[in-house]
Each structure stands twice: as structure tokens, then as C-alpha cells.
Structure 1
Amino acid sequence: MTKSVIIIGSGVGGAGIGALLAHEGFNVKLFEKNKLIGGRFSSYKTEDGWNLDVGCHLIANCEKGTIGEILRVCEEPDEKIQWKYARKPGPKFFYNGEFISLPRDMVKFNFGQKSIGPLMKFYDDVVKTKQDRIEELMYTSIHDFVASYTSDPKVGAMLAYYCGLYFVTDQETSAGEWIYCQQDLMKNRSSGFPQGGTIAVPKAYCDIIKEHGGEVYTDVPVEKILIENNIAKGVKLKDGRNIEADIIISNVGIKDLVLKLVGEEHFEPDFIQKIKTYKYSLATLMLKIALDKKITEENMIMYLSFDQIVNEAKRLNLIPGSENMSDEEFMEHVSFDTITKARGSPEFKDYVPPKHFAVFLPIVSNLDPTSAPEEKQLIFAGSGAPASNEEILNYDKWADSIMNSVKDIFPNIEDHIIWTKITTPQDINSFAGKFGNVIGIGQTIDQVGKNRPPQELPGIKNIYECSADTGSHGIGGELAADSALRLYNKLTGKKIPLFEAKNKQ
């Protein structure tokens, strides 16, 4: 007998598991609360011809990772989503007025001579780390792991930038998870962008649902999951209709599933407390810049300013007596994490640095020409910013801070700006929830491996969470795709070739 499935949400996890189960013969109905599918992977067209992404701006492994594996399991060609890699030119750092390619130009970072050898050994060890050692390092921070190689604060700052991929600080990022993802990045060399915007991913999955007889509804919010005798029976829609199904799958995030859609009354207090203590990843502010002409051929730029780290640390007065220190001496006494924690203290709550010291810039229209009108250019510039669901924060100042860093790279950029748009954590929250954080439950050392949120809920049958919250490995949307593949395995018993290959390494 064909089983019926209701899926709540059309992000990568929701649309992905929908595609997998529809291909397997399940009767799938997907309900999305917004008019657009995709969640953080959604995109929208402006009246003047620009295609803008909501919350995702680069995909780590394109079709070679878990996002592509969903298509392969569904027996769809990789070409169902068209990709362009960030190659030729590849990703570059911008530091001290020049572009730097790693590892070739590493010396241009002016690391101490004592750090170059240990840093090269660190990267060599990362490539060669075996699966059992990765598991051992899951609950060690990347900060502590790197400290076993070098104490150079510039190295720490650069690694902290990479930790921003997971939107947690270097003190909290799992070394094991970081190594797991870095190995995939180094092996696949396929970071890039889908043509047509990030919505191309959930659209491909939703098309598979419909091609196999399933249904996808937009602008139809689900208000409650119906529970009878500890069994999920269906959902109540906001318009009052009740829809029944054999299996209910949530893509809204573990907290909203438990605390809102199901309700605390269905669980033991210890489980509710655990759900409430899960920590979200950090938030980002994204500045979207439309230009009247192409000003760069680069695909991806990572701006990093050690000078800004020093300036901010001095501004926060982190090291007593530092006024007589040179910048190099000062860097010997301060860490990136020290600054991060100081910025979170009450006395510096409203402080915004004049320039942001770490900014990620995908040149979107170079990766996806459909994102900008002909002869124009679209650049995204994003970096960390505070998230709050309780107050209005001065995001304009944060946008200015990011733009001032962008001007270091492109001094004349203002001469070519048509418009800028700011995507704030509150914008993301209004569209995709989770207080506007980038990913969901953060990949911190206490929330990875066996400590990731569960896909199944204790004491209630036939209900599952499938989102980045419940993924085991990956960066951003790939974490959600990982969750979809694992849930597919759980519901059908069928093996996932990508996971089988990883297990044999």
C-alpha cells in the first residue's frame, strides 16, 4: 500500500526528502508558507531585471556533494541543475592591498617565520586525517587543534575566517567537522553557484515531486500537527482544513517543530529543556551591490584585515598598556576569539567597527550571468552581524562597515553603484525563521556528531524533522541535503552511494 507523506516547508531538506520519497513511490504533499519555495535557498526577480538570492550565496560542493546526491538517487542527471564553479579564477583572499591565492602566496600574509612550517604541516595533516581520527576530533575545537601547531594570532584569525563558513567562532567550531568538510572541499574543488539562482536547487526537487504525482502548495501555512494517542495523524492548515497522512515530515527546524507545531505538552520536561538549550549558528548581514558595469573578473573574494583586528582590539581596550606596543607585538597578545567575546559584552553592545575585518564577496553575476542584466555586475558582500528578534539593531551602520571594507578592494566602486540592498538577520527571520541565523542549530563542539538534534521525536510515531538542524555533516544547505538522504535511508532502508563511499575511505 502506498504511504502518504505531508512535508512542511520547501527548503533543501523538505524539498529534497520530498523528491526522494516521491521517486520511491510515496504519495507526497508539500506545504510551503511563503509564496516562493526554497526557504534560505529562495531567489526572486526584481522589476529591473536582477535575480537576487534570499539567504544562500555559494554552495560548497555543487553536484559533487549531498545536493547532487539527491538527484543521483532520484535517477536524475547532474545537469538537471546547471552549475558554474568558482574557478579560473579561483577563490582569493584580499589582504594588505593585494590578492592572495593559497597555498601559493601564503608568505604574503607575513606570518612569522616560525609559523610557515607548522601551518603547512597542519594543512598536510588535514588532507591525510583518517575517518576514525576525525571522529575523535569532533568534540575538540578548531582553535585548540590549531594551537597544537602554532600560536601565531594571524594564523588563528585566518582560520577563524574559515570557521565563518559554519557561522560559529573558532573556539566553538568542531575540529572534526571542519576537517570532514575541508577534505570534501579539497577533493571536489567544486564550490560554485547554480544558474538561475539558489532557488534552482529546491525547484529541481519540487519538479521531481510533481513529475512523480506529488503536489506542491505555496502560500499555505501549516498551523499545527495533529497528534492522536502519540501518533502523528496529519496537519491543520491556517485556513482551518485538516489533512491526514501516514508520515509527517517537518522542514521548519527542530525548535519550531517541537515547541510550536507539536507542542510542549506532548513531551517530557527534560526533552523540552534540551530543545530550548540548542544554540543557533551566527547571523550575517548581506550587502547586495548592483553595478552599471563589470569592475572585476574575480569569482570569489575573501577580505581579511589584520590591521582592522588590531584597531578593534585597541578600541575595545582588551590589552592594558597596549598603547606603547607595535601592531606585531599587540597581535602576540590578542586572539580573534577574544575580540568576538568582547564585542558580545554589554558595554560594547552598540559598537560597530568602521571597517569589517572579515568579508565574504561572491561576484554573483560572474558565477551566474542570469543574476544581472547584460553588461551589469552583481556583487554580494557579507559578514557577521548581531541577530535579535527583540529589538531593531542599527544594521545601516553594519552595512557601512562592510562597504568600507569593500572599498579597500574596489576604491572606485561608488562611481558605478546603481543601488544597494541590505539583507538583515531580521529579513531572513521573517522569511525562513530561526531568528535570522544562517544555518540553524550551530555545528559547535557540543552540537555535532552524536549531539546533533534527532530526526525522530521521543514518544511520538510517524513524525520526523528534516533540515540542516538534523544533518550530520556539511556546510549550509548541504547539511540539510545530508539530513534528507539520511531520512530517506531510514524510511526505505536503501543505502546512499555517497555515504557508502565515504565510509570506505
Structure 2
Amino acid sequence: MRLLTRAVTADDRFTDAWPYRDLEDFVRRHTNDPTIANAFYFLAGLGFVLSPRDVSAGEALHCFRRGLLDNSLSYAQGGSKAVPTTYCRIAEELGADVRTGTGVKRILIHDGRVHGVELLDGTRLDADIVVSTSSVRTTALQLCDPATLPPAFVDHAKGITGSMIAIQAKIGLSRKLVDAGCLVGAVSDSIDPLRADATMPTSMMGSLTRGDIPDVIPLHCTVPTNFDASLAPLGINC
């Protein structure tokens, strides 16, 4: 209760004091129960895909609090692609030229100002503003010429460590198995995930970093056709 109370009542002033302190440090101050700690770490792992020792406690608390207080979840009809395709449709209606399958070789910068991009086929597109949806590290060190950027910014980009990723498999079934929209949990051949000690999430992430199969494998299984049946072909449940 102490942990949940503090997490829910952690206002901006409190979370701003914890930006460079890890989530494991915060949880240890409020509970010694490994089951509760692991549940908290697992929730944070869904969003950050990092070990609790690498998650900013301030950012995790901010997200956790907002999620609980907003109490509002929604699903885009048509699946996740509905969001970018809507942006593209509106952009085209406003006169934009939307190109897909067109890689950018580099962002053109001269005298401290951006001038556009060069595509992989050598085509140059002039622009006053360039928006990169890649990571800061990739943008600064690969898409841009680092020599054209402020040295402090380049040094910051070099020091950024990315989070891990998840492997996604899409499975079509001939019949409906569950009514739930999402299944979250973990599996293991050697450890009961509900009885594991609080070091399990960090150990699991360490195994993945080394390229080893961890003792406990987390699962996050959404069933999107329970929200929107049109996502699957006729007669198929995903």
C-alpha cells in the first residue's frame, strides 16, 4: 500500500527529484515483497523494455500515475496502421506529396541550418524543416554529418543507450479461444515467476543482453480481433 500510494500521489515535484535514480532504488524503499516488486517492474518493462536498474524512477512514476488517473484506454479502429495512414491522408488532402519505400541517405545541413534531405537514389529534396523519427543517436551520427552539429549535442548522442526490443509474432486461429483483449504474463521451465525474487527482472534482461535465453520469458499477447474483427480475414481469429 505504501508503494502504490506513493506511486499514485507522486506529483511532478516529486518525480522531478528522481530523474536519474533508478526504479529498483525507489521500489526497495517501499517494499521488501519480491512478488509486489516484480509486478511493478513488469508493468514498467512493458513500456520501457529495460531492466528496473536502467529505468528512470521519475519517468516511470509519471507514466504510472498518469495511466491510473486518466483511466482511459482506447483502440484505433483498423489497427495501429490507422494512425499513420490518417496522417498521410490528411497531408495529401492538404497538398503534400507522400512517398513510401523511399530511404533517406542523409540530412543536408550547411552553415548550421538544415536545407533538406538526399534520398538513397541521389534525389535531393529541399526543405526548411526536416523531422526525423529515428533515434537521436542514429539521426545525429548517421543521418547527419556530426561535424555540422554542436559538439556537445554529438557527445550526448554518442552516450545514449537504446532500450531493448520485443519479438512479435502474428498468429491466425480458426476459432476464438479467449474473450480477453490482452494476456500478460511470463513462462519458465525452471522458476515459478510468481515466486521469483526481486532480482529476476534484472537477471532476465542481463541474459537477453548477452544473447542467452533467460530463465523467465515475459509475454504480452494482445488479441486485436476481440476489439476489431475486421483486422482478420473472414473465418480467422488473431
Fold match by TM threshold 0.5:
yes
Whether contact under 8 Å (1:153, 1:336) holds in the other structure is no
Answer 1 or 2: which has greater strand percent.
Answer: 1
Tell me which residue corresponds to 2:132.
250
Q: 2:35 aligns with which of 134, 154, 158?
A: 154
- 2:173 is the counterpart of 1:287: no
* TM-superposition CA deviations, 1:126-181 (whole Å, max 9, x none): 22222211211222222111111111111222112112121111112122211211
Deviation at 1:122, TM superposition (A): 1.8
Q: Give ranges in structure 2 of 5+ residues lacking alignment.
A: none
Quick one: distance in 1 between partners of 2:19 and 2:130?
31
Q: Kindly tell me: are residues 198 and 342 of structure 1, through their superposed partners in 2, closer, same or farther at Cα, counting changes over 3 Å?
A: closer
Quick one: distance in 2 between partners of 1:211 and 1:155?
50
What amino acid is aligned across from residue 110 of structure 2 in structure 1?
Answer: E
State how many pairs are aligned. 237
Deviation at 1:311, TM superposition (A): 6.3
Whether contact under 8 Å (1:137, 1:174) holds in the other structure is yes
Deviation at 1:230, TM superposition (A): 2.5
Q: Kindly tell me: are residues 344 and 253 of structure 1, through their superposed partners in 2, closer, same or farther at Cα, counting changes over 3 Å?
A: closer
Whether contact under 8 Å (1:167, 1:281) holds in the other structure is yes
Tell me which residue corresponds to 1:231.
113
Return 280-289 or 179-188, whichever deviates more: 179-188
- Bigger relative contact order (CA 8 A; separation at least 6): 1
Whether contact under 8 Å (1:134, 1:180) holds in the other structure is yes
* TM-superposition CA deviations, 1:163-210 (whole Å, max 9, x none): 212111111212221121122221232334211110111111122222
Tell me which residue corresponds to 2:4.
123
Quick one: distance in 2 between partners of 1:286 and 1:372?
17
Quick one: distance in 2 between partners of 1:128 and 1:274?
32
Whether contact under 8 Å (2:140, 2:146) holds in the other structure is yes
Quick one: distance in 2 between partners of 1:254 and 1:288?
30
- 2:199 is the counterpart of 1:335: yes
* TM-superposition CA deviations, 1:435-466 (whole Å, max 9, x none): xxxxxxxxxxxxxxxxxxxxxxxxxxxxxxxx
Q: Give ranges in structure 1 of 5+ residues lacking alignment.
A: 1-119, 313-326, 379-505
Tell me which residue corresponds to 1:170.
52
- Secondary structure (helix, strand or coil) at the match of 2:156 reads helix
Deviation at 1:336, TM superposition (A): 1.8
Q: 2:237 aligns with which of 377, 383, 388?
A: 377
What amino acid is aligned across from residue 262 of structure 1 in structure 2?
Answer: C
- 2:221 is the counterpart of 1:361: yes
Whether contact under 8 Å (1:163, 1:169) holds in the other structure is no
Quick one: distance in 1 between partners of 2:67 and 2:50?
19
CA RMSD of aligned residues (A): 2.6
Whether contact under 8 Å (1:156, 1:335) holds in the other structure is no
Q: Kindly tell me: are residues 309 and 215 of structure 1, through their superposed partners in 2, closer, same or farther at Cα, counting changes over 3 Å?
A: farther
Deviation at 1:338, TM superposition (A): 4.6
What amino acid is aligned across from residue 134 of structure 2 in structure 1?
Answer: V
- Secondary structure (helix, strand or coil) at the match of 1:293 reads coil
Tell me which residue corresponds to 1:142.
23
Quick one: distance in 2 between partners of 1:124 and 1:352?
32
Q: Kindly tell me: are residues 350 and 357 of structure 1, through their superposed partners in 2, closer, same or farther at Cα, counting changes over 3 Å?
A: closer
Whether contact under 8 Å (1:309, 1:357) holds in the other structure is no
- 2:182 is the counterpart of 1:300: yes
What amino acid is aligned across from residue 200 of structure 2 in structure 1?
Answer: F
| TM-score, structure 1 as length reference | 0.43
Quick one: distance in 1 between partners of 2:95 and 2:128?
17
Q: 2:94 aligns with which of 203, 212, 216?
A: 212
* TM-superposition CA deviations, 1:459-494 (whole Å, max 9, x none): xxxxxxxxxxxxxxxxxxxxxxxxxxxxxxxxxxxx
* TM-superposition CA deviations, 1:230-253 (whole Å, max 9, x none): 222222222322222222222222
- Secondary structure (helix, strand or coil) at the match of 2:3 reads helix
Whether contact under 8 Å (1:294, 1:375) holds in the other structure is no
- Secondary structure (helix, strand or coil) at the match of 1:159 reads helix
Deviation at 1:335, TM superposition (A): 1.6
* TM-superposition CA deviations, 1:380-408 (whole Å, max 9, x none): xxxxxxxxxxxxxxxxxxxxxxxxxxxxx
- The within-5 A match list for 1:354-433 is 356-378=216-238
